[in-house]
Amino acid sequence: MASEFSSVQKAVDAIGRGEVVIVVDAEDRENEGDFICAAEKATPEVVNFILSGRGEFCVPVLPETCKRLGLSPLVDSNTAPLSTAFMTPIDHRSTKTGITAEEKSITVRAIADPTTTAMDFVRPGHVHPLLAKEGGVLRRAGHTEAAVDLARMAGLAPGGVLSEILDESGERATREFLWALASKHKLEIISIEQLIAHRRVNEKLVSRCAEANLPTRYGRFKVVVYDVRHETEQPFALVMGQPENRAAPLVRIHSSCFTGDLLHSLRCDCGEQFHMALDMISQEGAGVVVYLPQEGRGIGLTDKIRAYALQEQGLDTVEANLALGYQADMRDYGVGMQILKDLGLHSVRLLTNNPKKTDAFIYDGFDLEVIDQVPIMPPVNEHNEQYLATKRDKMGHRLPEDFG
């Protein structure tokens, strides 16, 4: 039984021919395999085969398609573990119940047709559109984005069809099961990591838009501001020396914290970590701080302050985010990875206590390696002790053994 992945190009060619491929994600993510095909190539026979996966039958599309068809999020607050963006389920108006493979095929191909409108569909229906992030797997390493990317790369309408693959007992299919399935049906099988790496060779989301020298109390840095395709926020990097010439320079990926970074709030350790990182890099004479606009672990400043109010009522930081309808941590580090690559880095020592940041390097596909996780622990005070304990106990942050 074969146990090697196909090339991305072979998978793209198969998608272009209207065939089904298997796409797997990282074993430390969902560890899931999906059947995927292009939406505009979704014949009844192909749809029937995809339905044999026995997972949810979904059609990933871009925001412009959702706008054209008047599709809204299925829920107001998405609390799914990986924020899978389910939209209004629909059927084409010409179908009867919409449940058969042929009827699903009609609906899927109509969704991919740029001339259809919201009036061509009834709702609710049996086909579940998923909203894919602009930028695809370079922004989110999910099957939703992979399906859209593969169709686009094949020169087809940017929309796909997918279904998770379950085994005979109804459990998530193992890698061994997926290899056997691909061999049996002569399907190409690739990983999302491969797709990210393939796209990263040929395209990127970030581009430098301004840079200048910046003298600081910690020494002379260069500040580099980036534009990010499909986003209005502008991250930046503070670069000291020539970190690209170091074997493994110190690096911090820092998410913005208005209250901590600018107001020196004692409720968190963000501002102190930011300045400690600059100081530690200054002592080595080379390194990078990437500053990402992801306020409040990705929930924005307004809801971050609302979360503070809930904490004053007795909730911890995780419970407060959940009460507001968010995950404990909504941040994404894909843009940060691309900035580090743009700066010429390959191996880094990462200044963080957060394993999520370290884990992001495992499946980013950018040829970046964390060779050491360097703790960065400011002094604890009476206002942030509970906050830090929650990060340790509920979010897995690696704090010194003698903390708490």
Question: Do residues 172 and 31 touch, judged by C-beta distance below 8 A?
Answer: yes
Question: Do residues 19 and 184 touch, judged by C-beta distance below 8 A?
Answer: no
Across the beta sheet with 121-131, the strand order is: 90-92, 121-131, 58-61, 160-164, 33-38, 21-24, 189-191
Which residues are catalytic, by number? Answer: 329, 331
Question: Do residues 16 and 154 touch, judged by C-beta distance below 8 A?
Answer: yes
φ/ψ of residue 208, rounded to 5? -70, 135
**Which residue intervals of 113-266 are DSSP H helices?**
143-153, 175-185, 192-202
Question: Do residues 394 and 366 touch, judged by C-beta distance below 8 A?
Answer: no
Question: Do residues 61 and 130 touch, judged by C-beta distance below 8 A?
Answer: yes
How many CB atoms lie under 10 A from the CB of residue 198?
A: 20
How many CB atoms lie under 10 A from the CB of residue 283?
A: 11
The CA R_g of the chain, rounded to the nearest whole Å, is 23
Question: Do residues 103 and 96 touch, judged by C-beta distance below 8 A?
Answer: yes
Regarding beta strands 90-92 and 121-131, do their DSSP bridges make them parallel or antiparallel, or are they unpaired? antiparallel
| Side chain identity at residue 188, one-letter code | E
Question: What are the distances in angstroms from CA 210 to CA 85, 159, 236, 242, 255?
Answer: 34, 35, 9, 18, 20
